[in-house]
Structure 1
Amino acid sequence: MSQQKADIFAGLQADILRLQGFKTVQNTVLESGLGPLKYAFPNATFPLGAIHEFISTRPEETAATIGFLNGLLNILMGTNGAVLWISSSRMLYPPALKSFGLSPDRFIFIDVQKEKDALWALDEALKCSALTAVVGELPHITFTHSRRLQLAVEESQVTGFLLRNQPRAVGTTASISRWYIKPLPSASIDDLPGIGFPKWKVNLQRIRNGKPGTWDIQWIDGRFVPVYQPSFTLQQTQQQAG
């Protein structure tokens, strides 16, 4: 394909994505920190100004999801961003944010008593373009409510994250992506297990106009990198062959 045809094709693809409500926002720092995940997204660009949905069914998955999300927020916020975190039963431990290079004083926490109040606060917060992102711990949401949230971020260009911990039913939503995050054992350091870099099995089940997939990912030096399986030694190979 000639360069001229490639440019025409890329332009048409961008027009189609824009008509479908996907607005491309270039962020080179964000893209460089995503590692192999970036190629799952349309035009290899993480969808900002959109709603992303995370499903977890067990407490350990919730903890892994929050860790993975903190990595995303580290890359997304840069040096100036602010995040609003809304919940009726917050699972995040703010001091743990420092493990991902995040400063807790750049987060605003809104803890409410009822899920319906969390949904109202989330709806209003996503309209505030001064925020970098809004996180809502909201297990249950209807398609109508999710569509309203997606319309709000398309206008404000705020990025929204829904943490659906142990939902009664997953159902269908208008979110641009759906993720399942599971923990993987961290590498041992000096024979002490569980203190190495955080690792996850990341399942991007759905991404609008993108390519779903599953990756083993770890967080090292402020970015996501693949988890490489250790190579067998010659002795191990010979033992297996024997």
Structure 2
Amino acid sequence: MTQSPLASPPRIDRLPRADDPASRLSALRARLATQGSEMPPRRHLSFGVHAVDACLPAGGLGLGHLHEVAPEAEGDEPAALGFALALIARRLAEVPGEALLVLAKGHPMPYGHGLAGLGLDPERLLLFEAGSDLDAYRALEEALRTGAGELAAVAGLVDAGLPLAQSRRLHLAGGRTDLLLLVLRPVGADSPNVAATRWRIAAGKALRDRFGCIERPCWRVRLDRCRNGRMGDWLLEWDHAAHRFGLAGALAGHPHQAGGAGPRAGRP
């Protein structure tokens, strides 16, 4: 059968002959480098505050990485939850999709007006009540494995510390996604884990309107651990309309104090 003159012969990319190991190895390295350059870089969630982003690898919270959030002291649990929800709201403002909040037994259910006050659309937040921490971790892991196409963020509230084994499972499952992944654990429940960052949150003095209502939530934020980054301590406020963090009050004029890497730097 005669081949059409208009048809081009199939192109076959061949590596150098096996009897030339050096050339073959060089070609393999070049091919891997080309394939690696075509992969999209891992994305990050920026705080929009240079003092904070400068302490984080690549300038923001790594998406697909596990991040731990905890209250600074007893009574700061609502502040820690508010900070985590603000992060979720900022992520949802950037991309379509929904967020999943998994609550272990005993945690109060967030209500619509409170979520709206943080700039978080209640219709974009899925709530799942788990019977125990183990069930909560299973739900988080399953969401990471199956919900990456519809979810933008996944967060869990647990009753005890973040165990090493569970953190590894979440780390591996999250590494295949670009989701914001948060676990909120109670005060005093420190335990070794593989979380990329650990945040300790306390309530700050919030800006109020003329009626005495909170206009901008405020938190004392301490980055207690940061893999491949630096620790820091800041007083941050949240603009729910713009979905943006900012340095609060007097600290806004002194970024060198607010962004310090030492413990308690920039505390009021």
TM-score between the two structures when normalised by the length of structure 2: 0.69
Which ranges of structure 2 fall in alignment gaps of 5 or more residues?
A: 1-32, 253-268
Structure 2 residue aligned with 1:234? none
Partner of 1:156: helix, strand, or coil?
coil
After superposition, what is the alpha-carbon deviation per residue over 1:94-132, rounded to whole angstroms, capped at 9, x for unaligned?
311101211111111110222221121112112231211
Is the aligned partner of 1:62 residue 2:82? Answer: no
What do the CA deviations read for 1:16-52 (whole angstroms, capped 9, x no partner)?
A: xx9xxxx6315xxx43634532111112132111110
Counterpart in 2 of 1:185? 205
Q: 1:194, CA displacement in angstroms?
A: 5.8
Three-state SS of the structure 1 residue aligned to 2:42 is coil
Please tell me the residue identity of whatever aligns with 1:51.
L
Tell me which of 97, 116, 131 is aligned to 1:113. 131
C-alpha distance in 1 between matches for 2:232 and 2:194? 19
Q: Distance in 1 between matches of 2:161 and 2:251?
A: 40
- Name the structure where helix makes up a greater proportion of residues: 1
For residues 251 and 90 of structure 2, the distance between their equivalents in structure 1, rounded to whole angstroms, comes to: 28
Query: 1:61: Cα distance to partner?
Result: 1.3
| Matching of residues 27-176 of structure 1 within 5 Å | 30-31=45-46, 33-34=48-49, 36-56=51-71, 58=73, 60-78=75-93, 80-88=96-104, 89-95=106-112, 96-127=114-145, 128-130=147-149, 131-138=151-158, 139-166=160-187, 169-176=189-196
| Contact 1:85 1:134 (C-alpha < 8 Å) held by counterparts | yes
Match of 2:246 in 1: 225
TM-score (ref. length: structure 1): 0.76
Larger radius of gyration: 2
Amino acid at match of 1:48: L
SS at match of 2:215: coil
Q: Alignment partner of 1:108: what SS?
A: strand
The 8 Å contact of residues 186 and 193 in structure 1, kept in 2 or not, is answered as: no
Relative contact order: is structure 1 or structure 2 higher (C-alpha 8 Å, sep ≥ 6)? 1
Change (3 A) 1:140 1:32: closer
Query: Separation in 2 of the partners of 1:74 and 1:34?
Result: 16
Instruction: Rate the CA distance shift 1:156–1:229 in 2: closer, same or farther, 3 A.
Output: closer
CA distance in 2, matches of 1:98, 1:43: 30
Change in Cα spacing, 1:32 to 1:156, as seen in structure 2 (3 Å) is closer
Q: Distance in 2 between matches of 1:56 and 1:92?
A: 18
Q: State the shift of 1:159 in Å.
A: 2.3
- Alignment identity in percent? 27
Q: CA RMSD in A?
A: 2.5
Report the AA paired with residue 118 of structure 2.
Answer: F
Displacement over 6 Å in runs of 4+: none
- What is the aligned length? 206
Amino acid at match of 1:202: V
Secondary structure at 1:60's aligned position in 2? coil
CA 1:33 to 1:91, structure 2 compared with 1: closer, same or farther past 3 Å?
A: farther
Judged with a 3 Å threshold, the aligned counterparts in structure 2 of structure 1 residues 136 and 171 are, in CA distance, closer, same or farther, namely same
Aligned residues of 2:207 and 2:216 also touching (Cα < 8 A): yes
Assess if the C-alpha contact under 8 Å between 2:174 and 2:181 holds in 1.
yes
- Structure 1 counterpart SS, 2:67: strand
